[in-house]
């Protein structure tokens, strides 16, 4: 009988220590995820501005639907954060982005994201953030991107990625340029 008590005590101590190790491990794992998220926090890009003279007839305009909020549950607003992603899909040639304008539901310009044209190198991406506490765009917000392709690069991809949560729902979706 005494050996059963010793075994029981040993198993209890071992179980307790195992739980402690797991709690410490999971706590460290959670902390490392939070640290990674903090490191990846969006920072305003410092694009390489480029002064170029382009004939206005060579500039394209692409419309990207975006939403500062959507409605659910009988009209309750869910605020959304929008990341505009501009992707140069060409493996060897650059494109130029001349303007990125953000418009509200009524078609009024809310914000201009660039002060000068930028060069987007081969296979590079630029992203711009419309934060969820900025509701000025409304449910019908959009971006208008003015760009040129002086090197005959493959067509770029323009996407708006919206994410948000509210009323017990997590929402995410993408819209592409037209």
CATH number at residue 82: 2.60.290
- Single out the residue of 79, 80, 114, 75 nearest to residue 97, CA to CA: 114
For residues 9 and 91, state if they share a domain. Answer: no
pLDDT greater than 60 at residue 37: no
Name, in order, each residue with C-beta under 8 angstroms of 122's C-beta and a sequence gap of 6 or more.
Answer: 88, 90, 91, 92, 93, 94, 153
- Under DSSP, is residue 46 helix (H, G, I), strand (E, B) or coil? coil
Residue 28 domain boundaries: 1-40
Domain count, the chain: 2
* Average confidence score pLDDT of the chain: 84
Please, what's the b/e burial string for 55-86 (b: 16 or more CB within 10 A of its CB; e: otherwise)? eeeeeeebebebbbbbeeeeeebbbbbbbbbb
For residues 61 and 36, state if they share a domain. Answer: no
- Single out the residue of 125, 128, 95 nearest to residue 113, CA to CA: 128
In this prediction the pTM is: 0.71
What is the per-residue pLDDT for 54? 59
For residues 19 and 70, state if they share a domain. Answer: no
For residues 87 and 151, state if they share a domain. Answer: yes
For the stretch 137-170, pLDDT in tens is 988 999 999 999 989 999 999 999 999 988 788 8
How far apart (Å, rounded) are the C-alpha atoms in residues 78 and 66? 14
For residues 32 and 60, state if they share a domain. Answer: no
Residue 143 DSSP label? E
For residues 62 and 114, state if they share a domain. Answer: yes
Residue 84 DSSP label? E
Greatest mean pLDDT among 3-12, 55-64, 87-96 lies in 87-96
Q: Is residue 78 in a domain?
A: yes
Q: How confident is the model at residue 13 (pLDDT cuts 50, 70, 90)?
A: confident
* Mean predicted confidence (pLDDT) in 84-103: 96
For residues 26 and 86, state if they share a domain. Answer: no
């Amino acid at each position: 009988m005494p050996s059963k008590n010793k075994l029981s005590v040993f198993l209890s101590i071992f179980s307790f220590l195992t739980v402690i190790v797991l709690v410490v491990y999971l706590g460290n794992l959670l902390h490392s995820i939070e640290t990674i998220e903090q490191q990846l926090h969006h920072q305003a890009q410092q694009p390489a501005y480029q002064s170029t003279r382009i004939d206005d007839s060579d500039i394209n305009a692409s419309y990207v639907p975006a939403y500062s909020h959507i409605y659910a549950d009988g009209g309750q607003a869910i605020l959304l954060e929008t990341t505009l992603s501009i992707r140069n899909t060409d493996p060897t040639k650059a494109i130029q982005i001349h303007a990125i304008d953000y418009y509200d539901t009524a078609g009024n310009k809310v914000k201009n994201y660039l002060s000068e044209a930028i060069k987007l190198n081969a296979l590079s991406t630029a992203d711009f953030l419309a934060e969820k506490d900025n509701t000025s765009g409304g449910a019908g917000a959009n971006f208008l991107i003015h760009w040129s392709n002086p090197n005959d690069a493959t067509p770029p991809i323009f996407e708006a990625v919206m994410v948000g949560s509210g009323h017990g729902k997590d929402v995410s979706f993408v819209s592409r340029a037209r």
